[in-house]
């Protein structure tokens, strides 16, 4: 039996919902692939981590998850793409700590506002930095390097994979700690640094530990210390900087997922919940640890606090150095 009154009410409700639709945040359809944007080339560590996460998140989100590489400007280029992406939970970005903790202080002009354009989703993984020596000087410990640097201050330098990155400022802090002004020597990535170390073209290097492990184990370079609070499982024979007498050289880098501005809280929560489950999976842990990373996957608030602590740590160091990247 037809009910005209019921039909009128139903039509009215539908009309009201359609009218409100423009004011409500749209959520992406489950069958539409989600994307993880990465601001670095395919084949690198960030790309590898993003693909591990994407492969597992498809189960947690119930939809395909793709990785899209948008390299350039030390990971800053992809932020412009992220902030103009749909705010419906279909797009997130895997970004480095430099986006929130360093670039706001090293660049006079940024194309993004970390507080407004990067919606925290969750910390993916953290990683230590390390210092290594190569062909010249032939030292085996940090103490030996420091003694050499004090005798040869004009030769004391350190290779870094990029200017204005955490490696750069770890070197500055180390120089202050040992009382030697060490000059930084920038390279385009980690591979040229290893070649320079082995060729004796730089006296040391500061890089992400994972980039130094293979050559250390192969006897081509010697990792002298790591920046983590505890010794790294990949290099149990290498002391921390704190163990070597330099507790100020302690800290971890990290990468995290961010969503576009105005992404609904429900979408952020879905990604965060899924990320926590993914980071807790034994095979994911094993893969990341083998790469030199430690899985995190904690609540959004942890990432907010981590970003604030990192910015608080590096802002005075950067300002005291007088360094600007533009």
Closest CA to 59 of 246, 263, 277, 307: 277
Residues 38, 77: contact at Cβ < 8 Å?
A: no
Query: Taking all residues of the chain, what is their mean pLDDT, rounded to a whole number?
Result: 90
Strand partners, 252: 128
φ, ψ for residue 272 (rounded to 5)? Answer: -65, -45
Residues 292, 208: contact at Cβ < 8 Å?
A: yes
Q: How far apart are CA 196 and CA 203, in angstroms?
A: 9
Q: How far apart are CA 258 and CA 62, in angstroms?
A: 19
pLDDT, tens digit only, all 326 positions of the chain: 444 444 444 444 344 434 444 433 455 566 789 999 999 888 888 899 999 999 999 999 999 999 999 988 888 999 999 999 999 999 999 999 999 999 999 998 999 999 999 999 999 999 999 999 999 999 999 999 999 999 999 999 999 988 888 999 999 999 999 999 999 999 888 889 999 999 999 999 999 998 899 999 999 999 999 999 999 989 999 999 999 999 989 999 999 999 999 999 999 999 999 999 999 999 999 999 988 899 999 999 999 999 999 999 999 999 998 999 88
143-194 confidence digits (pLDDT tens): 999 999 999 999 999 999 888 889 999 999 999 999 999 999 998 888 899 9
* Kind plus residue range of the DSSP H or E element containing 252: strand 252-259
Q: Which domains does the chain have, with CATH numbers?
A: 34-127+253-321 (3.40.190.150), 128-226 (3.40.190.10)
Q: Are strands 119-133 and 34-38 parallel, antiparallel or unpaired?
A: unpaired
């Amino acid at each position: 039996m037809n009910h005209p009154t019921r039909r009128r009410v139903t039509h009215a409700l539908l009309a009201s919902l359609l009218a409100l639709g423009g004011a409500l945040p749209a959520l992406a359809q489950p069958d539409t692939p989600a994307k993880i944007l990465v601001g670095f080339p395919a084949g690198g560590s960030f790309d590898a981590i993003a693909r591990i996460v994407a492969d597992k998140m498809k189960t947690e989100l119930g939809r395909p998850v793709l990785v899209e590489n948008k390299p350039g400007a030390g990971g800053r280029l992809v932020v412009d793409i992220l902030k103009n992406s749909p705010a419906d939970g279909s797009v997130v970005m895997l970004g480095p700590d430099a986006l929130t903790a360093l670039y706001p202080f090293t660049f006079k002009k940024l194309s993004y506002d970390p507080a407004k354009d990067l919606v925290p989703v969750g910390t993916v993984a953290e990683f230590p930095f390390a210092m290594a020596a190569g062909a010249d000087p032939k030292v085996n410990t940090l103490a030996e390097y420091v003694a050499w640097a004090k005798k040869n201050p004009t030769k004391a330098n350190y290779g870094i994979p990029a200017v204005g990155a955490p490696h750069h400022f770890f070197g500055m802090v180390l120089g202050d700690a040992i009382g030697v002004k060490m000059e930084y020597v920038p390279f385009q990535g980690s591979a040229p640094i290893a070649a320079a170390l082995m060729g004796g073209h730089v006296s040391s290097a500061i890089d992400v530990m994972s980039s130094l492990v293979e050559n250390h184990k192969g006897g081509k370079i010697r990792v002298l210390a790591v920046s983590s609070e505890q010794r790294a499982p990949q290099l149990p024979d290498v002391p921390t900087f704190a163990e070597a007498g330099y507790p100020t050289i302690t800290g971890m880098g990290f990468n995290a997922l961010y969503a576009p501005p105005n992404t609904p809280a429900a979408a952020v929560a879905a990604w965060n919940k899924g990320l926590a489950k993914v980071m807790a999976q034994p095979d994911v842990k094993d893969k990341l640890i083998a790469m030199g990373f430690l899985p995190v996957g904690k609540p959004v608030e942890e990432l907010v606090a981590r970003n604030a602590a990192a910015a608080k740590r590096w802002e005075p160091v950067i300002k005291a150095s007088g360094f600007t990247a533009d």
